């Protein structure tokens, strides 16, 4: 299988790249820092998803790889913003919403134009399910991604396009995205998250909470009414 991983230089994306390479797949990797991408990738590209020409750079990478069966969108930024700095809020929205839409739509259009069966899997987060204090832009941006994928799934089904869409929603995962010394509840390793992701993709799941504990927590907090939710300090 030919797989493109956008955001493959670090954390979950880097882990996924090695996972698929070790299982014999041809993997094309991209992110801003090309020097941090594994040399074992079949193709590599420096792409900033916030750049207007990032879609064209993705098309070049697909060509270099010789086509694409699976596009995995991992690229994203996230940090808490206790001071509610507007610039930081806007940066998160730019990468996780605008950049996300730019790249995922490019991948979808490519599958549609080639009429070949395809699969788009994108990492949102458990944060997509609730607005979180100090992570307002992050949780909202992840809801954007989840809703975007839902819309694309409707487009694929009503258009009879053989394109599968998977929304991947991990909980806290130990990667450079997190503060190195802070304590996080129900923290997972990127290795374990990577295996859950690969399983969800292989099963062509529509939505996958990672892991079961986070699925349960999200199910519980989804029934908490807002008049209670607004009093709960999200732990991190
Ligand atoms: N860690 C968690 O607890 C957690 C939980 C749920 C969801 N997630 C989501 O999982 C995804 C991966 O996060 P991670 O934890 O693995 O973090 P990470 O180690 O910081 O990796 C983020 C990846 O995204 C790439 N990226 C960021 N901005 C980019 C841009 N403008 N253009 C292209 N690539 C860009 C980075 O590469 P460059 O910097 O080289 O561009 C890097 O490869 C993110 O979407 C994150 O929101 C993480």
| Structural domain includes residue 234 | no
In a domain, 181, yes or no: yes
Phi and psi at 34, nearest 5°, equal: -65, -30
| Residue 236 lies inside a defined structural domain of this protein | no
Mean pLDDT of all residues in 70-84? 95
Kindly report the CATH number assigned to the domain that includes residue 65. 3.40.50.720
Task: Report how far ligand 1's centroid is from the alpha carbon of 13 (Å).
Answer: 7
Is there a domain that residue 51 lies in? Answer: yes
CA-closest candidate to residue 193, choices 14, 6, 1, 7: 14
Burial class (CB in 10 A: 0-12, 13-18, 19+), 50: middle
Domain total of the chain: 1
Kindly give the distance from the C-alpha atom of residue 74 to the centroid of ligand 1, in angstroms, as a whole number. Answer: 6
The CA distance from 83 to 2, in Å, is 43
Q: List, for residues 115-125, the tens digit of each pLDDT value.
A: 889 999 999 99
H-helix or E-strand spanning residue 227: helix 226-229
Q: Does any domain span residue 130? A: yes
Distance (Å, whole) CA 183 – CA 4: 33
pLDDT confidence tier of residue 71, bands split at 50, 70 and 90: very high
Beta-bridge partners for 163: 118
Question: Does some domain include residue 235?
Answer: no
Structural domain of 176: 2-229
Which helix H or strand E contains 189, and what residues bound it?
Answer: strand 188-189
Strand-strand pairing, 43-46 and 207-210? unpaired
| Closest atom of ligand 1 to CA, residue 188 | 3
* In-domain check, residue 19: yes
Residue 31 CA to residue 48 CA, distance in Å, equals 6
Question: What is the C-alpha R_g of the chain?
Answer: 17
- Whether residue 187 is preceded by a cis peptide bond, meaning omega within 30 degrees of 0, is no
Instruction: State the pTM of this model.
Output: 0.97
Spell out which residues line ligand 1, taking CB within 6 angstroms: 7-13, 31-33, 36, 47-50, 74-78, 95, 99, 123, 125, 170, 172-173, 175-178
Q: What is the mean pLDDT of residues 57-63?
A: 98
For residue 114, give both structure tokens: 């080639």
Average per-residue pLDDT for the chain: 96
Q: Is there a contact between 207 and 128 (Cβ–Cβ < 8 Å)? A: no
Whether residue 139 is contained in a domain is answered as yes
Distance 136 CA to ligand 1 centre (A): 17
Tell me the DSSP string of 45-92: EE--TTSTTHHHHHHHHHHHHT--SEEEE--------TT--HHHHHHH
- Residue having the nearest C-alpha atom to atom 39 of ligand 1: 32
- What confidence tier does 180 reach under pLDDT thresholds 50, 70, 90? confident
């Amino acid at each position: 299988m030919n797989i493109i991983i956008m955001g493959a230089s670090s954390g979950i994306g880097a882990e996924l790249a090695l996972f698929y390479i070790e299982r014999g797949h041809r993997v094309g990797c991209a992110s801003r820092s090309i020097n941090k991408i594994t040399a074992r990738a079949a193709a590599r590209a420096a792409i900033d998803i916030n750049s207007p020409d990032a879609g064209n750079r993705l098309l070049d990478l697909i060509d270099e790889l010789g086509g694409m069966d699976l596009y995995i969108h991992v690229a994203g930024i996230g940090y808490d913003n206790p001071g509610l700095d507007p610039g930081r809020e806007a940066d998160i929205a730019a990468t996780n919403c605008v950049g996300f839409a730019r790249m995922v739509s490019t991948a979808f259009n490519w599958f549609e134009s080639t009429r070949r069966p395809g699969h788009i899997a994108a990492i949102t987060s458990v944060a997509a399910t609730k607005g979180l204090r100090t992570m307002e832009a992050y949780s909202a941006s992840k809801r954007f991604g989840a809703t975007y994928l839902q819309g694309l799934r409707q487009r694929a089904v009503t258009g009879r396009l053989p394109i599968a869409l998977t929304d991947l929603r991990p909980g806290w995962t130990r990667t450079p995205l997190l503060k190195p010394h802070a304590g996080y509840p129900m923290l997972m390793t990127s290795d374990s998250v990577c295996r859950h992701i690969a399983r969800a993709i292989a099963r062509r799941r529509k939505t996958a909470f990672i892991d079961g504990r986070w699925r349960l927590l999200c199910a519980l907090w989804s029934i908490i009414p807002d008049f209670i939710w607004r009093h709960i300090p999200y732990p991190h």
